[in-house]
Every structure is written in C-alpha cells, then in structure tokens.
Chains A and B, each alone.
Chain A
Amino acid sequence: MDHLLDRVRSDERSPAAGSAGTASAALAAALVMKAARRSRAVWPEAGGAIAQAAALETRLWQAGDELERSYRRAVEALESGDQADIGEFVPAAADASLELARIAADVADLAVDAAHHCDQAHHADVTVAAILATAAARTGAHLVAVNLLSRPDDTRSSEARLLVERSHQAAEMLAGER
C-alpha cells in the first residue's frame, strides 16, 4: 500500500484513478477475508468466503494493471490525434474500467453474504467492505463514462450503472442493519 501511495502521489501520469479504485475494492475484499477468518467458529463455510475473496482480489489487481495500461494507451492516442488509435484504445480503456466495476460489485455481494453469516462483531467490517466496493464500482463506472466520451447509450454505460446500483443497495442494506 505504501508503494502504491508513493506512485499515486508522484508526478507520473499513472497509476491514478483506476489504481485508486482498485485499491479500494482490494481493501474491501481484505476486510471480508478478515471477517471470515475470525468467524470460523460460528460459520462453517467461512473458508469458502475466504477463497472467493482471495480470487476476487487477484482478479482486481489484474484488472487494475490492465486499466492503467489501457489508460496510458488511450491518453497517448488522444494526444496523437490518430483516429484509428483513438478508436481502438479509448474503448479498450472503457472495457477495463467496466471490469473493475464488475469485480467490485461482486465484492459487495460477497460482503452481504459474509455479513449474514459471520460473527456479528465483524458486521461493521463487512459493511465498510461493501461501502468501499461501491466506491470502486462507482470509480469504474465513472471511468467508463469518461472513456466512452459521454455516450450514455452504450451498453457498457448501462451495465456500469446497474453495477453501481447493485453495490450501492448492498452497502445501504448492510448499513441499515445496524
């Protein structure tokens, strides 16, 4: 995390927003893992949640790398003004952003499952996990919109909005339980 913060606060172009969103969702997955690890005595299937959180975290970091790579290519294309490159690389950045939103929404779902089975002393941890995952889903959705150059009719935009809504509902539900 220190390394990521150093790189985000640097004057380099990337890592930037995509990595910040990725880190938010990865922290959410880590919180779910912690809650599950500390709930084995009351939750026989805690190991299943741990395995899923670990798999989602791995996917998140891969998606984050792809997001930064595609963002750099998109910016270079826009700066060069080459229409073929813009047509190829800018939508690719939108795809990578959408993937972040998808994984983040799954982390929010997993947080709900954990909240309903874990030791309730950790309910707040998984609620915050859902809140962080929602922030990451919203990050992904915003980057989709930016990279699609304000084309709200694109199916990626509508999928991203649904993912944000799903995550938001998960976080609101958990927050309302305490």
Chain B
Amino acid sequence: MAALSSITDAGLVARCRSGDDDAWEELVRRFSRYVLAIAQQAYRLSPSDAEDVFQDVFAKTYERLGDLRSDDAVRPWIAQLTRRLCIDRIRAGARETVDPEAAEAGVDDTLDQLDEALSVQEALAAMSEPCRDILDRFFRRDESYAVIGAALGLPSGTIASRISRCLGKLRDLLMEENAPLTRHEE
C-alpha cells in the first residue's frame, strides 16, 4: 500500500481498471475526505445523508470508471459525480421543489477551496519527512521556533529560514502539479 499511496491519480486509475483491489482501496482512501467534504461543507448535508452520498459515489465510480475519458481527470470527475448525487439527495428529502440554483449557491467557491487544500495535501505528502514535519509544526500545530528547534535539535534562529526553504519546495511541487494542466488548457 505504501507504493500505491505515492502514485499519481492517473496511475491509480490505471491500476483500478486492471482490477487491482488494493488500488480500489487506495482510491477510496484518497478521495473519501474530499467526497465527504463536498457533501457536508458545500451542500451542508447531514452526516447520515453525506454517508449515503459517499456510498453512492464510490459504487458509481466502480461501475462507471470505464466512462472516464482521461485518467488524469479522476478528481474533477468524482467531484462532478458527488455534486450530482448531493443534488439528488436534497431533492429526495425536500417537500417542495428544489431550486437547483439555490442548492448550488457558493458550491463552486467551496469546491475551489477543497481542491486547493487537496493539492496542498498531495504536495505535502510528496515532500521529504523533515520538510513535512517542520511545516506541520509551524503552520498546523502553531509551535514556536524555540519549541520546533528543541524538538528537532536545531538552533531556533535557523528555523525561520528552514521553513522558508520548505515552503519554496512546496510551491515548486504545486507548480509542477499545475504545469501539465496549464499546457493542456492551452
């Protein structure tokens, strides 16, 4: 599973198409939080409705992966599938006719934020452990330079510089990830 967690989305889809059960497991693991976040944050579904959507999304992904035209595009494809199933769920639970525009209000912005978060998460996963650790300590755990320095056995005066270097690497990884998309769009 370690090798699968580091392969690209396209590589993972190819393995799924070939009937690799471990790849299917990794696909669900990789996109599960994304699907739940769309359902709960963008469409504000209840946890139980979001769980139903989650099950539907991955059941349909399993059935229809053959319809996916570009293996690179699995994330937007899953996002679109999730959106459609969320709308269906809202309609099914509504006593009155649901206005699709109202249901979709703000969804694009939330989805952009989720996509960005997922890209950062993927880039972080591709970084070296020391960089991932120092960025996690400073930005997520809000640790001070002194605490980080003590934990890593480094002088606190060097921590700011190390964080900047790691952020530079993260930026490069994100730009690499976006480059093929930009070329494709051109």
User: Which residues on the A side are within 8 Å of B167 (C-beta)?
Assistant: 45, 47-48, 51
A residues near B, CB below 8 A?
44-45, 47-49, 51-52, 55, 59, 102-103, 105-106, 109-110, 112-113, 117, 166
B163 and A48: CB pair below 8 A?
yes
Query: What separation, in Å, do the CA atoms of A52 and B168 have in the docked complex?
Result: 12
Q: Are B146 and A52 in contact (CB under 8 A)?
A: no
Task: Say if the beta carbon of B142 comes within 8 Å of chain A.
Answer: yes
What are the 4 tightest A-B residue pairs by CB atom distance, in nearest-first order?
A48-B164, A48-B167, A45-B164, A113-B160
B168 with A110: CB separation less than 8 A: no
B171 within 8 A of A: yes
CB–CB B168/A48 < 8 A: yes
Q: Which residue of B lies closest to A110 (CB)?
A: B160
The answer to whether A106 and B168 have CB atoms under 8 Å apart is: no
- Alpha-carbon gap, A63 to B161, bound state (A): 24
Partner of A105, one of B142, B146, B165, B168: B146
Given contacts A55-B139, A103-B144, contact A109 B165 (CB under 8 A): no
A110 CB contacts on chain B under 8 angstroms: 160
Residues of chain A lying within 8 A (CB to CB) of residue B146: 102, 105-106
Q: A55 is contacted by which of B138, B157, B159, B164 (Cβ under 8 Å)?
A: B138
Q: 6 A–B contact pairs at CB < 8 A?
A: A45-B164, A45-B165, A48-B163, A48-B165, A48-B168, A113-B160
Residue contact B171 to A47, C-beta cutoff 8 Å: yes
Complex-state Cα separation, A53 to B49, whole angstroms: 41
